[in-house]
Amino acid sequence: MVRRWYEQFDFKWDAGLYRIPRQGGNTKLELVTSKPVENDFLMQQIPRLNNRYLLSFSRDDTCMEYFLCSRRTGEQISKALIVSHEVFSGSLYVSRFYPELYKQINCKYLSAACFYLMVHHAAGVFQLLDKCRVNLETDNEVFLQFYARLQDFHFYIRHARPAQKVYLTGNYRETAVFTDLVRSHV
C-alpha cells in the first residue's frame, strides 16, 4: 500500500490548524491553507453543470474554443470561451470567458464550474504541469466579484491596465476533475 507523506502523521483538523505529535509529548501547531482533500465545490457544481449543459471544444493548434449548449434544447448558450496555450511560458491564457449563464434560471455557481472545467480540460489537452500559470485580462469589478473568489487558482493582479482593466495571474492546481464529458465540437 502506498502512503502519502501526510499519512504518517496523526492529523487533527481544528479551525484550520493541525497537530503533529512529536516525541516527548510536545506538539507543533502549523497553519494549513487547505486540507489535502478534493474540492467540495467542484464535486457539487461540475455534475450540476454537466447535467444541464454540454461543453464542447474546437482546437486550432495552441488555441481552444469552447461552446456551451443546453442538453435539453440543444440551444447554444455561449460561444465566447477561448483558452490558448502560451508555449514558451508553459501557461494558459484565457482570452475570452463570457459563458452567459447568468441569463439562465437557477445557474448560481455554474459559471465558476464552467471555468474550472475549461481550465482543467485545456491543461490536460496541452499536457501542462501542475502549478502552471493561468493568465487573463478583465475588468477590475469582474475580478473582485468572480475571479478573486475562485480560491483554487489564487488569482492576483499582476498589472493594472487603463480604463479599470487588470491583468491577472493565477496558478493551475491539478485536481481530480472528470473532463471526459467535454466533447469535440461538431
Return the pLDDT at 115: 93
Closest by Cα among 168, 171, 185, 169 to 128:
171
Q: Return the HEC string of 86-129.
A: ECCCCEEEEEEECCCHHHCCCCCCHHHHHHHHHHHHHHHHCCCC
What's the grid cell of residue 22?
Answer: 512529536
Residue listed under C-alpha cell 502506498: 2
When the pLDDT of each residue in the chain is averaged and rounded to a whole number, the result is: 79
Choose the most confident range, by mean pLDDT, from 8-17, 39-48, 161-170: 161-170
What is the average per-residue pLDDT within 92-107? 91
Return the pLDDT at 38: 60
pLDDT tens string 73-95: 999 998 889 999 999 988 999 99
Q: Please measure the distance between the N-terminal and C-terminal CA atoms of the chain and give it in whole angstroms.
A: 44
* Report field, pTM of the whole predicted structure over 0.85: no
What is the average per-residue pLDDT within 107-112? 91
What's the grid cell of residue 126?
Answer: 496541452
pLDDT tens string 142-171: 999 999 998 888 999 998 888 889 999 998
CATH architecture, domain 40-184? 3-Layer(aba) Sandwich (3.40)
- pLDDT bin (cut points 50, 70, 90) of residue 186 is confident
CB 142 within 8 A of CB 105: no
Which of 1-5, 68-72, 111-115 has the weakest average pLDDT?
Answer: 1-5
Judging by DSSP bridges, how do beta strands 183-184 and 76-86 pair with one another?
unpaired
Where is pLDDT greater, at 169 or 181?
Answer: 169
Give domain limits for the chain: 1-35, 40-184
- Quote the CA–CA distance of 103 and 119 in Å, as a whole number: 22
Where is pLDDT greater, at 21 or 181?
Answer: 181
Q: What percent of the chain has pLDDT over 70?
A: 77
Decide if pLDDT at 2 tops 80: no
Return the pLDDT at 29: 38
